[in-house]
Structure 1
Amino acid sequence: MRRALFVALALCFGMTAPSRAEEGPLRPDAARFETAFVPGATATVEGTSVPLDSRVLGEVTVSSGQIVACDPFVFIEAKPFTRAVPNGQFPVRVAVMRSKRFGDRVAFARVEFSQAPVVSWERALVPGQDPAKLGKHEYYGFPVDAGTGAFLDPAVGKDIAVLSTDQVQAVYDDWIRQGESYGKAHGLPYALPVNRGAHALVLFSSGWGDGAYPSWFGLGADGSVAMLLTDLRVADDGPARRE
């Protein structure tokens, strides 16, 4: 487990791990990506069936034709994905595992760029990542070191990057306070829809906490981006993902 996590984190930063050509990396789970958000959905976690609760958490504003998935408290200046996305304001929906045994945890989060049916999925990559270097079961994922993920336009990171250390800390303290309050009020783990200048962004608790989490673009029949989905690695992988 520790080595698997190290490999995933290493891949996030552009380093590579040994791989064999005949062994495939983690694949998208198209069926689960769709069913996780329908009413009455369930997931299997450590062999136990648990319910999933889906809801729109907030919206993300895209003004640059680019989008970032990152830990906003540690990697706010993370690189955007290489695939261009539409500009506009788009809903962010989460699927939350409800379990007395495991706790309430965000299992999946997605940005809905359109209502077009997704007909195919592709890895969401940042510059320098090469899928050909992925070994068996490996993936690229954004690193998390503060138990939080977020979707945002890269302009938000640039805006915060020019602040003083004290100003940045004040922003983060405010987000922590608001997110804990919002989550409690809405029956969620840490969650926060918030605005930063002209941009809306959404923060959410990241699955089991720190780690590395893969994202996938869902494409419509015409090849346009319909969705960006992050798998917070809560649900057990089905056999099809590892073959």
Structure 2
Amino acid sequence: MQHPKPFCPTCKLTCASGVLTVLDLGSVDAHFVPLARRILPGTYAVEVAAAADVTVALRLLLSEAPAVSWHPAEFTDGTHGVGVDAGNVALLDVGSLVECQAQRIEAMFQEHMERLMETPGTMFGLTGEVVDAVMVSSGYGDGTYPCYWGLAADGSLTSLVVDFRVLAENILRTSRVPFQPGPVSTPELAAHELQITANDGAFVVSSRGEDLTGLRVLAPDGALLLDADYLGTFITGGISSKTWNPDALPPPGSVLEVTEYLGYRHI
């Protein structure tokens, strides 16, 4: 992997408002939420790390002090990641963004997406000559990518990093519980509010949140009865539900296999 480096010797971003946002420039209306923590207004170096021409991370360097700890960068809506639908991530000064008309944002998005075909990142001014925006390609494409604040030993901010999870592997945990109607009371699954509901020969498996990445029903001999990835998902009030209509009821002793996403680690 290439070490983080500037796009060019003078690649610096100015944030006059002290408020930043990280978003997909192709869908500002859907994704515009400011970061909750402010920075000191100023001009800061922007760096990118890449591996085999794939963007690995974007960093805004806020000070020369080394980061001794990393913490999720919370947005004002309580989330910690940037959603991507159009293959890019932009880091912007919120003060400039709110003054920018929608037509100009769309024009800049189209122009700079073309530039990303030949360069890992591009910088520009939202409302004038001051460079207050940077846009990079988003790793392997669309998804949700975590943002982190780097903190110095005294608690001050040293950097803001968007991690595209290119050189990373997921940490997963698999549990098996009896397949039977009712709430799943296994302690390690309690936070997911996992429940099985029987309804006239059909079964509804519901859970809270997005950290359950796999649900399967296995017969007592281990034979696969259901892979829930092939079922549609209905989401309401933060609860995800999948309905299974089996040709025959699962035999006694069947189990529900649950795979949880616990995080990721770099490789």
* TM-score bracket relative to the smaller structure: 0.5 to 0.7
Q: In the alignment, is residue 83 of structure 1 matched against residue 37 of structure 2?
A: yes
- After TM superposition, give the deviation of residue 73 of structure 1 in Å: 1.7
Alignment of 1:58-207 (within 5 A): 58-75=11-28, 78-98=32-52, 104-129=53-78, 140-160=80-100, 162-163=101-102, 165=103, 167-180=104-117, 184=118, 188-189=119-120, 191-196=121-126, 197=128, 198-207=130-139
Q: Deviations over 1:42-98 (max 9, x none)?
A: xxxxxxxxx335321232211111111111121266122111112111111111011
1:214 match: secondary structure: strand
User: Contact 1:153 / 1:199 at 8 angstroms: preserved in 2?
Assistant: no
- After TM superposition, give the deviation of residue 229 of structure 1 in Å: 0.7
Structure 1 segments of 4+ aligned residues over 6 angstroms from their partners:
none
- After TM superposition, give the deviation of residue 242 of structure 1 in Å: 5.1
- Aligned residue in 2 for 1:5: none
What is the aligned-residue RMSD (CA, Å)? 2.4
Aligned residues with identical type, % of pairs: 29
Letter of the 2:26 partner, please give it.
Answer: F
Please, what TM-score do these two structures have when normalized by structure 2? Answer: 0.57
Structure 2: unaligned runs, 5 residues or longer: 172-261
Quote the Cα distance in structure 2 between the aligned partners of 1:69 and 1:146: 14
- Aligned residue in 2 for 1:10: none
Give the number of the structure whose residues are more often strand, by fraction. 2
- Aligned residue in 2 for 1:235: 167
User: Contact 2:170 / 2:263 at 8 angstroms: preserved in 1?
Assistant: yes
User: Contact 1:156 / 1:199 at 8 angstroms: preserved in 2?
Assistant: no
Please, what TM-score do these two structures have when normalized by structure 1? Answer: 0.62
Letter of the 2:108 partner, please give it.
Answer: V
Structure 1: unaligned runs, 5 residues or longer: 1-50, 99-103, 131-139
Quote the Cα distance in structure 2 between the aligned partners of 1:226 and 1:148: 24
Quote the Cα distance in structure 1 between the aligned partners of 2:13 and 2:81: 20
Quote the Cα distance in structure 1 between the aligned partners of 2:111 and 2:123: 12
Give the number of the structure whose residues are more often helix, by fraction. 1
Quote the Cα distance in structure 2 between the aligned partners of 1:93 and 1:168: 23
Letter of the 1:235 partner, please give it.
Answer: L
Q: Which one has more relative contact order, counting CA pairs under 8 Å at least 6 apart?
A: 1
- Aligned residue in 1 for 2:2: 52
User: Contact 1:59 / 1:202 at 8 angstroms: preserved in 2?
Assistant: no
Quote the Cα distance in structure 1 between the aligned partners of 2:69 and 2:168: 21
Distance change (3 Å), C-alpha of 1:114 and 1:212 = same
Quote the Cα distance in structure 1 between the aligned partners of 2:131 and 2:26: 17
Select the structure of larger CA radius of gyration: 2
The alignment of Structure 1 onto Structure 2 pairs a total of residues equal to: 169
Q: Deviations over 1:136-177 (max 9, x none)?
A: xxxx311001100111111232122x34x4x44333332233
